[in-house]
Structure 1
């Protein structure tokens, strides 16, 4: 009798263990398999939240089939206490394991609201944008010029939210003075920026920042990034390059940057200046004259006067031979690359062609024809 009872108990235990193992296997499969979410959502994890609240929110939005399994999986993976506040883009079909990993590994939010400070050549613009999960595109909520226009209520509302992201987008061709003044206008940054960085020393790029970031630290980051680019590009210079030092490369790149905003033209423009340097011709480029007038502090806002074209300044390439003593702006990576790897051409002239680009010429006669064509375009525009 006792043997029979013991045998039955053992059988029940085996069955129970088998069932338990099956349940674990089923739960693991549910945790790692594709989830039920049909369209992407933006999951917002508030500061001080926990896995229970998050799992219930996910279930309400149709992202998980079982809040309990989601919590057990997070607990089994020892991630319950690693939850990070923020806004996360949960894509359609994301598994519970993928969602757990996303909300616990940290880093920048992947959706929600961001404030972008765009530092351009003519103005600084603050944009409040929100990612639409359905289209993965940002929808603009507000924009204004910091320090110039009234601050919108929407900006003030989202600026202090824990999951709002902040980014500075530095355009190619801005001057160091413009960058410093722009940083001063951003109220989420702190501290004195310190001495103005040398012209050309800052890398145009996108920079993630946080409220309370020191302005001097951002400038240091921009400088370090530009130094890395200069070293990398200089190491790859071609035999066609006319510049003989990294410093001259930076100066020429800044001129190329100010002469054209058309990507496909950069190496052509570089070829013009390379050919002029090799032939001992003066560069005769207007942006250097403008820099001699403004010193990089603001935009000239008008055409150059004949007296300014004749005025002797260290940067006036109509007057001086060779390159000016310093860069005239902060060039981007593409212009740096063009300065040391120009197209192989015989061009020594170029002028605007009316489309935003330029017409290039090998001879003065061809150039004069292009100039006449451009002047006719200007006259037609003024008459309309």
Structure 2
């Protein structure tokens, strides 16, 4: 093959020698400047750091959102004054989290965005992620406890229950006035003071009493002319029956007796006079105690007792404010948890006889009256006439 045009032919020996390749161009003096070299190094380092941080955040986000170690729901109390590290250690000890460093790092990142962790008692759900835990702590989703007050407890009994509730704090300076607390369920957070709960109960009672009093019947007896007297009447209704369908009829019996100048003869007033509001008597009422004079014993005093014998609920307050329109003067237990009502003494005696037949076979100890006794019966007569008291009869539905 002829040699390429324009290029001189090479001898065989020259053809065997390697061709000379031009060497690399030497960098300019500017490219070799120390500042440029340093800048390149810094840029490279920043790229590496950015990639590392991005990768770390990606991995951390995955761990932050993955299910946690809790095998079941758990409540943990975060004390006031705890920092992020303290909270992290506590949650790890309680088994809520198993990656404290991820938790700590995540909180630090979120704190830069304004997040704060709040102390209190929290419920962490089963397998809560670190993200769930932080959300719970930052939103202050504290556990709500419930303190339930049944209708018919005395103020002293309510105070005792408050003192037995460990989630509350502080002492109680004095027993609230009888009838001034509204039986209800009250929500609270751990650490709330017992005085605060009492204050809420008193405010609730004032509000309900004001509402009920404004809607009272215009035909109440002269002995019930103030809200305080209404509470007293309602407390008797509360202690005599626990059935909603009987409250207005029980209230009517008391109202009719007040109008007829008859003694109320309510057994719970005997117990309150004997115990001073400390609670149940714990034994049957003795016959001698029926005749024992106390300021509250409505077998021996005229009209209403000097004050409430318990804390009545809204239903009993409403029943006392608007009793049923009946002529009934008596009621006795029917043996099934309710009562039988009657207008006349003769009819009442028949109802008592039926109850005695049901009870036959359960003899009471000598000299006592069964614990669930109804008020002794009597016939209406002028106020100045003596009112004979007959042996007490059993009464169900009354709460002592």
> Does the TM-score normalized on the shorter chain lie above 0.5?
yes
Contact 1:173/1:258 (<8 A) preserved:
yes
2:134 maps to which of 71, 75, 100 = 100
Describe the SS at the equivalent of 2:362.
helix
Which residue of 2 is the match for residue 339 of structure 1?
320
CA shift in 2, pair 1:97/1:173, >3 Å: same
DSSP 3-state at the match of 1:351: strand
Pair 98,348 (structure 1): closer, same or farther in 2 beyond 3 Å? farther
3-state SS in 2 of match to 1:77 = helix
Q: Which residue of 345, 355, 363 corresponds with 1:374?
A: 355
Shift of 1:204: 4.6
Matching residue of 1:68: 101
Per-residue deviation at 1:251?
0.8
Deviation string, structure 1 residues 6-29 (Cα, Å, up to 9, x no partner): 999989978975885575466456
Q: CA deviation at 1:74?
A: 1.9
Q: Indicate if the aligned counterparts of 1:203 and 1:331 stay in contact, CA closer than 8 A.
A: yes
Partner of 1:257: 238
3-state DSSP class of the match of 1:339? helix
Report matched runs for 1:234-383 at 5 Å.
234-236=210-212, 238=215, 242=220, 244-260=225-241, 262=242, 265-266=243-244, 268-274=246-252, 276-277=254-255, 280-281=259-260, 282=262, 283-296=264-277, 299-305=280-286, 308-309=289-290, 314-318=295-299, 320=301, 322-340=303-321, 348-355=329-336, 357-364=337-344, 367-382=348-363
Counterpart contact for 1:88–1:110, Cα < 8 Å? no
1:268–1:342 contact (8 Å) kept in structure 2: no
- Alpha-carbon RMSD across the aligned residues, in angstroms, is 5.2
Q: CA deviation at 1:350?
A: 2.9
**Higher Cα Rg, which structure:** 2
What is the Cα deviation at residue 361 of structure 1? 2.1
Residue 193 in structure 1 maps to residue 162 in structure 2: no
CA contact (8 A) 2:251 2:319 kept: no
Q: Residues 337 and 381 from structure 1, CA distance in 2 versus in 1: closer, same or farther, beyond 3 angstroms?
A: same
Determine the C-alpha separation between the residues in 2 that align with 1:240 and 1:15.
Answer: 85
Give the match for residue 6 of structure 2: none
* TM-score normalised by structure 1 residue count: 0.58
Matched with 2:19 is: none
Contact kept? 2:270, 2:290, Cα under 8 Å? yes
Cα displacement (A) at 1:349: 3.5
Q: 2: CA distance between counterparts of 1:177 and 1:67? A: 48
Q: For the residues of structure 1 that align with 2:74 and 2:349, how far apart are their CA atoms?
A: 59
Alpha-carbon deviations, 1:144-187, whole Å to 9, x = none? xxxxxxxxxxxxxxxxxxxxxxx987654343455678889999
Task: Tell me the matched-pair count.
Answer: 317
CA distance in 2, matches of 1:367, 1:76: 79
Larger relative helix fraction = 1
1:247 CA drift (Å)? 1.1
* Residue segments in structure 1 that go unaligned for 5+ positions in a row: 112-166
CA deviation after TM superposition for structure 1 residue 225, in Å: 2.0
- Aligned equivalents of 2:126, 2:160: Cα separation in 1: 43
1:318-346 residue CA offsets vs partner (Å, 9 max, x unmatched) = 45554333111233455334434656777
- For the residue of structure 1 that corresponds to 2:246, the secondary structure is helix
- SS across alignment from 1:373: helix
Q: Tell me if the contact between 2:143 and 2:189 (Cα under 8 Å) persists in the aligned partners.
A: no
